[in-house]
Structure 1
Amino acid sequence: MAAAPVLRGRQHERDRLDQALRHVRSGESAVLVLRGEAGVGKTTLLHYVESQAVRCRVARITGVESEIDLPFAALHQLCGPLLASADALPMPQQHALNVTFGHAAGAAPDKLVLGLAVLSLLADAASEQPLVCLIDDAQWLDVASRQVLGFVARRLLGESVLLLFAVREPNPDTLLAGLPALTVGGLEDADARALVIATTPGHFDDRILDRIVVETRGNPLALLELSRSSRAELLGGFALPSVGTDALQDRYEQRIRALPEPTQRLLLLAAADPTGDAALLWRAAQDLGLGPQTAAPAEKVQLVEIGRSVRFRHPLVRSAAYAAGGIEDRRAVHRALADALDAGNDRQRRAWHLAAAAAGPDDRLATELADVAQDAQSRGGIAAAAALLRRSAELTTDHRLGVERTLSAAEAYLDAGDFASALGLLARAEALSADDLQGARIDVIRGLTDRAARSGREAPATLLRAARRLQPLDSRFARLTFLDAWGAALVAGRLAYPGSDLATVSAAAREAPPAPGEITAADHLLDGLAALVTDGTATAHPLLREAVAGFLDNEVPPAQWLHCGVLVANAALSLWDYDRWEAANARHVELARAGGALAPLANALNVRRVIALWRGDVEHARELGMEESTVKQATGMRRASYGDLFLLAYQGHAAEALPLLTEAAAESTARGEGLGLYFTDRATALLHLGLGHYAEAAAAAVRAASGDLGPFTAQALPDLVEAAVRSGATMIAETALERLAAYTAGLDLEWATGLRARSQALVSDGEQAEQSYAEAVDRLGRTRLTFELARTRLLYGEWLRRERRRTDARRQLKQAFEEFAGMGADGFAERARHELLATGEKVRKRTAGTVDELTPQEEHIARMAKDGRTNTEIGAELYISARTVEWHLRKIFAKLGISSRKELRDAPIHLRSRTH
């Protein structure tokens, strides 16, 4: 089933579509034609219907312009999968279908008979379960197919069939005329702003955002295309319109060139200022000798509207106005805008306009741009800083300084997630005669870009080579690069190139002495992580404690946090210190969000989702997944989402999960991401453990626990102990326990001691087993590791039942079941339910009906109401009215079998994530 798309607003459209689905589920038919301009969201609404069509059969086709002259091509798409049941139709209708689709010879069938045949075919298919037919780009359907489908749509009554068409407007076709229609317009302003902010991470200038919303009229596709076209400049508030060759833009440009010359210049001035600030426009216009009367010809032909703000009719009008100006005219308007801006309050945009006005290199201006770039970066505008630094480098005459600024710009683009721009600047810097230190820095940035974009096997080798090259030149920089190489080797895992694996990088790092002077938290971090591989935990753990404490005590600047945040979290994980693992990751996420550093943010969110799942917070992990997906789409990052893999394991649906896990493993292999294989194996082991498939779980856990992945290898050992014991592989379990004891030696934190005690219980009998289980429950009960605690209760309960202590077993198993059910870990919940049944306890089975009872929006509203939010507060967050919230709550209460908010506080609201 399709994943539910994220829709902002669209309450009216969703209500109509939900109503249509209710009709077909109740045994009635429904027909609706969605009409709207290209990009307005019709296809997304079709996806929404598909995601809501639970327990319905869905048939989806799309009109193709190249097939518009091919008779019945679209009808064949729709009916082809249904023809197996055509034998039940009357012979004339069978014959009509067979001739139409080329299965039999004969004269062209009567269109009335063919229409009845298709109607009967759809009705027959809907007799088993409701049928939802989604027809996208219906304007490109061949005429013959449209005629038949129009005929069918007008005669559907009680067949449990939904016909939903999406048609682009304007469209002169009349074959679907007269059918129930829903016009899909642009998003409301609040929803449009929310869409741009959610899909283009970073810090928007509010004036730019307002202008985008107005000029696109809320068209989602236009919003996304415009907001992504020049993200760095856009976020900085100084975007220039693109100069393209779109046919519509060409027409607008011709209209502009027909205007009086002063009016053309005023439009050019307005186009050069992305904020739409009318006061600024008129101050700059005065310097150019342009008065208010010059706007009249453009306003008369509705190209622009100037009131309290400047609003072009369409974004392409702005592009056309800028394209129509000559180079010297553009420089002149940028100079006028710079002079009209306050040098104190608008220093950043003023410098940008001055740069746009520059006719050639200008060292004074280049220095000012570099200074404002630093200010922008300190305020969280990494994307803006990248654009400013790039322009600064272009205006710099000093060769070496120009290369330095180019590399600084490349680093900023890397952090902003614009990898193509980063690599382009590296190529430019490399073409220049950089010195040895700059050459090594180029290698570092290239390796980091490769690691961020692809998580590939090449990055460790590149970064290790750069670190060695840096040792005689800058030992502190070399040590930081060894840290980068270690992180890249960890991600590459067993897929790293020979000579750049984790063991090789760790040995090289241990041989690189710290720089003279104070030993920093980053030094402790490098030495500790390397020692995990070369020396073992006894040497590594004290160093890692120093490192984590140093970073969390704010001994390092934010830039270094962004650089090392994932490794700091890994260091805390190596210590089995959940609280510091979470704290380190929270700090990393906070700094990355605040700085608009998308590449570090994607990695930090990947970790944060796993942390949330380990404490059983599936809903939060799901929300974080939406943010992670948005950031990865914005940057093009292709690293595996480890939270997605664990969500599949939590849900416990093997038929759905195993193909996706296999696909994830293949993609990780193709990228050279060995860590992705590790997480795939761990997720596979957890999935099978929940389902009671112990041999399969053991095989996956053996793979996950093999090799040496620093902080991660030990995490797989408790799973291996459980799977091996349950599958009868006692020696494997005992060896895994010995390894776990060695990894956690000297650690008295509850996480480590709890899992060690649980693993000991699994290989023990009698009093020793009971003592170990009791200790594990006690230890883990003091943590926030809800998932591990529930697993321990389950194992303890299973052991108690086999010891024939049913009352004691029920107590542990019931708590485990409730915890698993509450977090949506369906596989483990079902395993606990079966154990409870074996003790004589009656437990309701968690069926698809109980899990999917609420729609995703109803689940969201129910959770907010459960948290005490008022209808008005919920409505404000979801952009719906309080009355609509009340309407939803009535449905929620009915589905949950309750009658009030008070009862809602105690009602279980189960949430199933969909990750595909």
Structure 2
Amino acid sequence: MVGSATALWGRVEELARLDAELGRVRGGESAAVVIRGEAGIGKTALLDQLAHRATGCRVTRIAGVESEIELPYAAAQQLLAPLLNLAERLPEPQQRALGVAFGQETGLPPDRFLVGLAVLGLLAEAASAQPLVCLVDDAQWLDGATVQTLAFVARRLAAESVLVVFAVREPAPEQPFAGLLSLRLSGLTDSDARALLAATNPGRLDSRVRDRIVAETRGNPLALLELSSSGRAELLGGFGVPGGETSDLEDRYRRRIQGLPEPARLMLRLAAADPTGDATLLWQAARILRLGPGDLSPAEEAGLIEAGARVRFRHPMIRSAVYASGTAEQRRTVHAALAAALGDDDERRIWHLAAAAGGPDADLAEALFVAARRAEARGGVAASAALLQRAAAHTGEPGLRAERTLAAAQAHLDAGAYQIALGLLPVAEADAVDDLQRARAGLIRGRIDRAARNGRDAPVTLLRAARELEPLDAVLARRTFLDAWSAALVAGGLAAAGGNLAEVSQAADDAWRNEDQPQPADDLLRGLAIMITSGTASAEESLRRAVTGFLRGDVPADDWLHAGILVADAALALWDFDAWETASNRHVGLARGSGALAPLANAINARRVIALWCGEVELARTLGAEEHTVKEVTGTMRASYGDLFLLAYQGHAAQAGPLIAAAAAEATSRGEGLGIQISDRAAALLQLGLGHYAEARVAAVRAATGDLGPFTGQALPDLVEAAARSGDRANAADALARLTAYAAVTGSDWAAALLARSRALVDDGTNAEGDYAEAVDRLGRTRLRFELARTRLVYGEWLRRERRRADARTQLKAAFEDFTEMGADGFAERTRHELLATGEKVRKRTVDTSNDLTPQEEQIARMARDGRTNPEIGAELYISARTVEWHLRKVFDKLSISSRRELRDALPPRRADSRRTRLPPPT
């Protein structure tokens, strides 16, 4: 048989590949494989075969079920149930996150990545005794929380002795398993198909019939197998009509099911409606329907189902056929019985009650709505979105139904499920009973466009929604103006007509109503709008009140998630580094904790830039891994500004130049003007580091063109330096004048330092030394290590031209040390040349032994050197402690050392800086 554990036709190569992965796992490594193919093509049979071959391994297995695709963590809980006794070995925060996610304890919504790390740790603990094989069939029907968690874990497996294999029915999107090893199954070859028919049909089979069967089934093994197990007399006689499409197979199963006695069919429907395979639950529900084990026997004898300690259908397609073969009333009957049998399992009981309901039910809809809020505490916004959607479906009153549909759409949007959210909006609009609900649907549509694509049209859509909301809900209108402002900032010069930043700012300013007690969000909108319409000096008071208000601690988390990125932008406009960093940290932490992935991607993107400006390259890389994971899960297309600046920082033109240019091209195609501006600024920094001033000037002019608020202001010091060094005095002076306006804020050492440095570069005369000294002094009070090193470099260059070589060497050596330590190789090499010109003997930076390490190995080595334990390192990098140890063994081999103590001498030293801070690790 095709699904037996002893023979499998036509899958020699696939089995060899799976055997190879199994061998790696037995050898101490880990692997993840995705088996793809149409229904009946042999995915389940391969999983059966793999389970049989996994001798000496522990095997845990589940199958996704379509009826539970929206229950958060339902499938993960089934998969991990045999391993949960090991959870006590996990760090306490991971235990708590897992407990809350699985409904075993109450608490705040767990960080989705912390849940993923807990699952990874649990698998690693289970595999410490013997290799672990996790088999997931019909993965296209996993609930969203489970699929995101397991995909997250699969990408982080390395040295845990764990094999995870997903079987996915096609057609299905590549996400969320894109990037994992994929085995795509096609039909059996004609020779294998004929051999299978011969093996399963004793006697002579007419060659014409045989060839017709092979052709029409297209080598689908299950179709061939079904034909061999029924209608054999007709086939052997040459007059049977074969069928090989998926629908034909399901029809064939349905006919077999219809041939069973009604009690057996009812038992099958009951088993199909419960995805857990819990035999105890099945018999309890069966008693409610006055059925017993004997009623299932005909189905067992027909080879459709096995009922032992667990209940398992012979093939997932049989479950689908059973469930589909019943009438709507029959399905409601079995769901009602399961709900009655579940008792204390409230969430699953309500889910079955919803499936049992024949139409609108106010009490049930309210229960689903309450369950949605409770589920949010388990799995964040993604967990509540599905229950809100069900609550809406069972709500009879149109206005309330529209309200709940809008809530479900917003929850799906926050969870990064943009297409689902978009699909709910026409339903909400059809049920809307007033202009406010219709305007809110337009608002969510604009937010989806901004989050998913950051397109040219998003500012116009959101601005229209804000204006529609003005007479209906003033508070929501102001929030929507903030959305429109943010979208216009991102679209930049590519915004559609009527939606550029100046137009949106003017509209927001015109809509301003002088409130007696404005909320921080009101001040934020007012300040950002005035900053564009009238300049930073005019906006300073409102911006400062907004930032102070948000950082005070009493602003609701929802407001932070909504506007956190703009709070950080406001602090940046004020050149207030501490507030910029604090706001960014708060935004990242709240987005992580709530599981709101769409805001989290933007929050991490911004936080990485702060890390780089502090010289914290390792933190920027760590955050980068998390950012890419979030974007991968949500499908967010927005450019990674941290990636671009990191490339510029490292100064490797051959690698960085094409990547920065590609990022600009992609941003153009998405209508993301800010992405182009950031790409231009990264290109300018790259060329400045290399000493290519003319090329830097061209890029810096583009980056400083237009008015994108703080982002334009931040680009102007680069233009001053590039223009001054390339002899373009006019452009340098103009950029200085513009910078003076942007930096017209009080009490900022950052702004005053860059103004002083820029004046010195333009003046280059008797006042230059005082300006340079002021810039170094002011930046020395901050944590802006990169800007301090840049300032010491240009100061040293000026001192050398003034023939003050000893003084020049002091500044240049400090700059060289910092650039080298930060990995800013381009700037380091430019500084080295200046040092040589002063007569200092400084060797070109050579490739040290640590450069033999991969980026992740180097990161782990540095963290271990700094005293972090393996679990601490794993928690911060989202890998298991065993994988950390595995990497460290490779590090020791490459560096020819044998202990952590030796890392201090084997790795380049890092300057101690007590002012440097990190984001707290996830745990």
With the length of structure 2 as denominator, give the TM-score of the two structures: 0.70
Deviation at 1:377, TM superposition (A): 3.3
* Cα distance in 1 for residues equivalent to 2:699 and 2:728: 14
716 and 857 in structure 1: CA distance in 2 versus 1, 3 angstrom threshold: closer
588 and 191 in structure 1: CA distance in 2 versus 1, 3 angstrom threshold: farther
622 and 509 in structure 1: CA distance in 2 versus 1, 3 angstrom threshold: same
User: Counterpart in 2 of 1:880?
Assistant: 882
8 Å CA contact 2:550–2:567 kept in 1: the answer is yes
Note the alpha carbon deviations across 1:94-150, whole angstroms, 9 max, x for none.
xxxxxxxxxxxxxxxxxxxxxxxxxxxxxxxxxxxxxxxxxxxxxxxxxxxxxxxxx
Note the alpha carbon deviations across 1:383-436, whole angstroms, 9 max, x for none.
122111111111111112211211111111111111111111112223446422
899 and 760 in structure 1: CA distance in 2 versus 1, 3 angstrom threshold: farther
* Cα distance in 2 for residues equivalent to 1:263 and 1:774: 89
SS of the residue corresponding to residue 727 of structure 2 reads coil
Q: How does 1:505-516 map to 2 (within 5 A)?
A: 505-514=504-513
User: Counterpart in 2 of 1:485?
Assistant: 484
User: Counterpart in 1 of 2:751?
Assistant: 752
Question: Among residues 27, 36, 39, which one is paired with 2:17 in the alignment?
Answer: 36
SS of the residue corresponding to residue 538 of structure 1 reads helix
1:891 is aligned to 2:761? no
1:210 is aligned to 2:212? no
Q: How does 1:683-694 map to 2 (within 5 A)?
A: 683-694=682-693
Deviation at 1:774, TM superposition (A): 2.2
* Cα distance in 2 for residues equivalent to 1:579 and 1:312: 60
244 and 860 in structure 1: CA distance in 2 versus 1, 3 angstrom threshold: closer
Deviation at 1:204, TM superposition (A): 3.9
Q: How does 1:50-199 map to 2 (within 5 A)?
A: none
User: Counterpart in 2 of 1:330?
Assistant: 331
* Cα distance in 2 for residues equivalent to 1:883 and 1:851: 18
321 and 847 in structure 1: CA distance in 2 versus 1, 3 angstrom threshold: farther
533 and 824 in structure 1: CA distance in 2 versus 1, 3 angstrom threshold: same
553 and 796 in structure 1: CA distance in 2 versus 1, 3 angstrom threshold: same
User: Counterpart in 1 of 2:621?
Assistant: 622
* Cα distance in 2 for residues equivalent to 1:719 and 1:209: 54
* Cα distance in 2 for residues equivalent to 1:243 and 1:885: 35
Q: How does 1:650-661 map to 2 (within 5 A)?
A: 650-661=649-660
Deviation at 1:328, TM superposition (A): 3.9
* Cα distance in 2 for residues equivalent to 1:219 and 1:317: 25
8 Å CA contact 2:862–2:907 kept in 1: the answer is no
779 and 371 in structure 1: CA distance in 2 versus 1, 3 angstrom threshold: same
For CA contacts below 8 A with separation 6 or more, give which structure has more relative contact order. 2
Q: How does 1:314-325 map to 2 (within 5 A)?
A: 322=323
Deviation at 1:716, TM superposition (A): 0.5
8 Å CA contact 1:430–1:442 kept in 2: the answer is yes
Deviation at 1:554, TM superposition (A): 2.9
* Cα distance in 2 for residues equivalent to 1:270 and 1:613: 56
User: Counterpart in 2 of 1:176?
Assistant: none
User: Counterpart in 2 of 1:801?
Assistant: 800
SS of the residue corresponding to residue 839 of structure 2 reads coil
Larger mean Cα displacement after TM superposition, 790-799 or 184-193: 184-193
* Cα distance in 2 for residues equivalent to 1:558 and 1:742: 34
8 Å CA contact 2:753–2:775 kept in 1: the answer is yes
SS of the residue corresponding to residue 713 of structure 2 reads helix
User: Counterpart in 2 of 1:116?
Assistant: none
* Cα distance in 2 for residues equivalent to 1:883 and 1:528: 50
43 and 780 in structure 1: CA distance in 2 versus 1, 3 angstrom threshold: farther
User: Counterpart in 2 of 1:769?
Assistant: 768
* Cα distance in 2 for residues equivalent to 1:819 and 1:300: 75
User: Counterpart in 2 of 1:613?
Assistant: 612
* Cα distance in 1 for residues equivalent to 2:70 and 2:735: 43
Note the alpha carbon deviations across 1:201-232, whole angstroms, 9 max, x for none.
99745514527999xx9889x86982785416
Larger mean Cα displacement after TM superposition, 629-638 or 485-494: 629-638
Q: How does 1:510-659 map to 2 (within 5 A)?
A: 510-514=509-513, 518-659=517-658
8 Å CA contact 1:305–1:313 kept in 2: the answer is no
* Cα distance in 1 for residues equivalent to 2:680 and 2:858: 31
872 and 542 in structure 1: CA distance in 2 versus 1, 3 angstrom threshold: closer
1:226 is aligned to 2:127? no
* Cα distance in 2 for residues equivalent to 1:42 and 1:703: 54
* Cα distance in 2 for residues equivalent to 1:891 and 1:192: 37
8 Å CA contact 2:512–2:526 kept in 1: the answer is no
8 Å CA contact 2:576–2:748 kept in 1: the answer is yes
Paired amino acid for 1:335: A
8 Å CA contact 1:207–1:275 kept in 2: the answer is no
Once the two structures are aligned, what percentage of the paired residues are identical? 57
User: Counterpart in 1 of 2:419?
Assistant: 420
8 Å CA contact 1:40–1:186 kept in 2: the answer is no
User: Counterpart in 2 of 1:93?
Assistant: none
* RMSD over equivalenced CA pairs, Å: 4.4
* Cα distance in 2 for residues equivalent to 1:320 and 1:39: 35
* Cα distance in 2 for residues equivalent to 1:828 and 1:203: 49
User: Counterpart in 2 of 1:706?
Assistant: 705
8 Å CA contact 1:569–1:584 kept in 2: the answer is yes
8 Å CA contact 2:140–2:169 kept in 1: the answer is no
1:815 is aligned to 2:814? yes
Larger mean Cα displacement after TM superposition, 443-452 or 317-326: 317-326
8 Å CA contact 1:695–1:723 kept in 2: the answer is yes
User: Counterpart in 1 of 2:789?
Assistant: 790
Paired amino acid for 2:334: V
8 Å CA contact 1:201–1:598 kept in 2: the answer is no
* Cα distance in 1 for residues equivalent to 2:482 and 2:884: 52
With the length of structure 1 as denominator, give the TM-score of the two structures: 0.71
8 Å CA contact 1:42–1:184 kept in 2: the answer is no
223 and 799 in structure 1: CA distance in 2 versus 1, 3 angstrom threshold: farther
Where does the alignment leave 5 or more consecutive residues of structure 2 unmatched?
A: 1-12, 31-36, 38-44, 63-68, 83-118, 124-130, 151-166, 173-219, 227-248, 911-923
8 Å CA contact 1:744–1:752 kept in 2: the answer is yes
885 and 570 in structure 1: CA distance in 2 versus 1, 3 angstrom threshold: closer
User: Counterpart in 1 of 2:458?
Assistant: 459
8 Å CA contact 2:71–2:386 kept in 1: the answer is no
SS of the residue corresponding to residue 767 of structure 2 reads helix
Larger mean Cα displacement after TM superposition, 313-322 or 472-481: 313-322
Deviation at 1:871, TM superposition (A): 6.8
* Cα distance in 2 for residues equivalent to 1:902 and 1:573: 41
748 and 348 in structure 1: CA distance in 2 versus 1, 3 angstrom threshold: same
Paired amino acid for 1:622: R
* Cα distance in 1 for residues equivalent to 2:612 and 2:427: 44
Paired amino acid for 2:893: K
Equivalences, count: 731
* Cα distance in 1 for residues equivalent to 2:503 and 2:864: 54
1:340 is aligned to 2:210? no
* Cα distance in 1 for residues equivalent to 2:763 and 2:71: 54
* Cα distance in 1 for residues equivalent to 2:513 and 2:474: 7
8 Å CA contact 2:71–2:383 kept in 1: the answer is no
Paired amino acid for 1:36: R
* Cα distance in 1 for residues equivalent to 2:14 and 2:405: 53
8 Å CA contact 2:850–2:858 kept in 1: the answer is no
8 Å CA contact 1:522–1:547 kept in 2: the answer is yes
8 Å CA contact 2:139–2:168 kept in 1: the answer is no
Larger mean Cα displacement after TM superposition, 313-322 or 745-754: 313-322
User: Counterpart in 1 of 2:240?
Assistant: none
User: Counterpart in 1 of 2:239?
Assistant: none
Where does the alignment leave 5 or more consecutive residues of structure 1 unmatched?
A: 1-31, 50-64, 66-167, 173-182, 194-199, 912-916
342 and 529 in structure 1: CA distance in 2 versus 1, 3 angstrom threshold: farther
* Cα distance in 2 for residues equivalent to 1:187 and 1:707: 66
* Cα distance in 2 for residues equivalent to 1:228 and 1:693: 54
Deviation at 1:522, TM superposition (A): 0.8
Larger mean Cα displacement after TM superposition, 771-780 or 805-814: 805-814
797 and 490 in structure 1: CA distance in 2 versus 1, 3 angstrom threshold: same
Larger mean Cα displacement after TM superposition, 379-388 or 393-402: 379-388
Paired amino acid for 1:480: R
8 Å CA contact 1:777–1:789 kept in 2: the answer is yes
8 Å CA contact 2:456–2:491 kept in 1: the answer is yes
456 and 187 in structure 1: CA distance in 2 versus 1, 3 angstrom threshold: farther
SS of the residue corresponding to residue 763 of structure 1 reads helix
332 and 590 in structure 1: CA distance in 2 versus 1, 3 angstrom threshold: farther
